[in-house]
């Protein structure tokens, strides 16, 4: 039996801030089921859902029927400009209205960020992996909030058809941050959620729980997509780790769910990002793999020096390389180490000398880690020995 109450059935508000409308809607539905009634929305919720859909494409604050569902108050300060959070709430409400339309259950689900929702959409097989990634990338590369909302309108319709929910309280925070300095954290959280390996499937057998091999290990130079993949990785050079949508499919970093949800910038992610961009620059134009286990930066620099010694200006070039490599060894932190590796990689590319990118990632991750105070010293000593051994053999 459908309820016709004019007020929502919601959690008592004593001691709580008033629920956002999408939270009210979910509580209303759950309350009906808990009371043994048919789980559906009250007339109050249904009426306001229609109002939300009427606000799609409309400017915030211009839709009278939506005013009662806003929870972010407007300040009477004489300003003609609406608060950013109020505008973000308007867009969040309209997206929720589109998503909830004709859905049989509440689509607001705490804890499901946009990246996680797109991962679920991909696993639902409602769209191909490439199609999901195109849509997520389009949203992530939006230049401003209005463009982002246009992409999200199309995306939430796909989520609705696939039965995938979304955390609209989280989305409100993300839309509020989009045109501000916290956009990178939002982007990183989407990318990390989307690349989350998740719980292994039973059919994974012996491979269940194993970490996926890094991209540079599995890269196939003969693949028809190889050039496009390397170009995508090179686009991340100089960019903040985790914020480059074109790179998201190539990340393999494991991370605690809480850190993924927050878009945390960890040492692991930073090291992998740098190693990916270095490998992409190194691998281009080569039809054999430029990642070789055991070729430390010291070994690679030594091989360069040995090749240079065979030329007409051998001694001078060898001495210059040795000085340059010595500067790399004196790197004070991981950022400086990355800078020097970036200057070496074009030389390695030109000479066709490979590098161990697993080792590079480990060095970039631990070089200045306060928990590993002797790490940099250990790398310096080993790489220095590798250099002289490779240069003289």
Cα separation, 242 vs 256, whole angstroms: 15
- The string of pLDDT tens digits covering residues 313-363 is 667 778 888 999 999 999 999 999 999 999 999 999 999 999 999 999 999
Spatial contact of 121 and 158, defined as CB atoms under 8 Å apart: yes
What number is the average pLDDT over the span 76-80? Answer: 71
Across 76-90, average pLDDT: 87
What's the pLDDT tens digit per position in 361-382?
A: 999 999 999 999 999 999 999 9
Q: Which residue, chain included where needed, has tokens 């070729």?
A: 295
* Rounded CA separation 18/86 (Å): 15
pLDDT for res 39:
78
Provide φ and ψ at 115, rounded to 5°. -65, -45
The mean pLDDT value for 190-217 works out to 72
Average pLDDT, rounded, for the chain? 90
Confidence (pLDDT) at 2: 36
Closest CA to 157 of 108, 103, 93, 90: 103
Q: Which of 96, 107, 4, 115 is nearest to 49 (CA)?
A: 96
Give the contacts of 80 (CB within 8 A, at least 6 positions apart).
none
CA distance from start to end of the chain: 86
Q: What is the pLDDT of residue 206?
A: 52
What are the tens digits of pLDDT across the range 90-114?
A: 999 999 999 999 888 999 999 999 9
DSSP assignment, residue 353? -
Specify the range with the lowest mean pLDDT, choosing from 165-174, 196-205, 238-247, 383-392: 196-205
Query: Against a cut of 0.95, is the pTM above it?
Result: no
The 8-class DSSP code of residue 288 comes to S
Q: Is residue 233's pLDDT more than 60?
A: yes
Asked whether the predicted pLDDT for residue 79 surpasses 90, the reply is no
Query: Residues 254-270: what's their mean pLDDT?
Result: 91
Q: Say how far apart CA 363 and CA 377 lie, in whole Å.
A: 11
Q: Are 269 and 242 in contact (CB under 8 A)?
A: yes
Residue 166's beta-bridge partner residues?
108
Burial category of 162 from C-beta neighbours within 10 Å (exposed 0-12, middle 13-18, buried 19 and up): middle
pLDDT computed for residue 312 by the predictor: 59
**Residue 197: per-residue pLDDT:** 67
In this prediction, residue 307 carries a pLDDT of 87
């Amino acid at each position: 039996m459908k309820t016709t109450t004019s007020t929502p059935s919601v959690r008592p508000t004593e001691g709580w801030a008033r629920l956002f409308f999408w939270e009210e809607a979910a509580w209303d539905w759950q309350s009906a089921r808990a009371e043994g009634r048919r789980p559906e929305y009250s007339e109050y919720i249904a009426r306001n859902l229609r109002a939300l859909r009427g606000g799609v494409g409309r400017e915030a604050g211009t839709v009278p029927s939506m005013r009662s569902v806003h929870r972010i108050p407007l300040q009477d300060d004489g300003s003609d400009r609406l608060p950013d959070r109020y505008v973000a709430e308007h867009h969040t409400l309209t997206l929720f209205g589109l998503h909830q339309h004709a859905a049989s259950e509440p689509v607001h689900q705490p804890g499901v960020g946009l990246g996680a929702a797109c991962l679920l959409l991909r696993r639902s097989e409602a769209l191909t992996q490439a199609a999901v990634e195109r849509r997520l990338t389009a949203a992530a590369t939006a230049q401003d909030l209005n463009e982002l909302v246009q992409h999200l309108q199309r995306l939430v319709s796909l989520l609705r058809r696939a039965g995938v929910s979304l955390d609209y309280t989280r989305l409100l925070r993300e839309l509020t941050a989009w045109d501000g300095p916290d956009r990178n954290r939002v982007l990183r959280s989407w990318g990390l959620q989307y690349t989350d390996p998740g719980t292994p499937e039973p059919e994974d057998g012996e491979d269940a729980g194993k970490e996926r091999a890094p991209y540079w290990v599995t890269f196939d130079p003969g693949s028809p997509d190889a050039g496009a993949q390397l170009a995508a990785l090179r686009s991340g050079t100089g960019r903040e780790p985790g914020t480059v949508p074109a790179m998201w499919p190539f990340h393999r970093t494991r991370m605690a769910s809480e850190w993924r949800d927050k878009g945390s910038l960890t040492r692991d992610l930073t090291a992998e990002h740098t190693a990916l961009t270095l490998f992409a620059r190194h691998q281009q134009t080569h039809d054999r793999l430029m990642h070789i286990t055991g070729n430390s930066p010291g070994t690679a620099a030594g091989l360069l020096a040995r090749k240079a010694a065979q030329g007409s200006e051998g001694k001078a070039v060898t001495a210059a390389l040795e000085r340059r490599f010595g500067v790399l060894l004196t790197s004070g932190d991981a950022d400086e180490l990355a800078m020097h590796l970036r200057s070496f990689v074009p030389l390695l590319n030109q000479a066709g000398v490979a590098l161990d990118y697993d080792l590079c990632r480990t060095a970039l991750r631990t070089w200045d880690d306060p928990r590993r105070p002797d790490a940099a010293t250990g790398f310096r000593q080993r790489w220095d020995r590798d250099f002289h051994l490779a240069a003289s053999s």
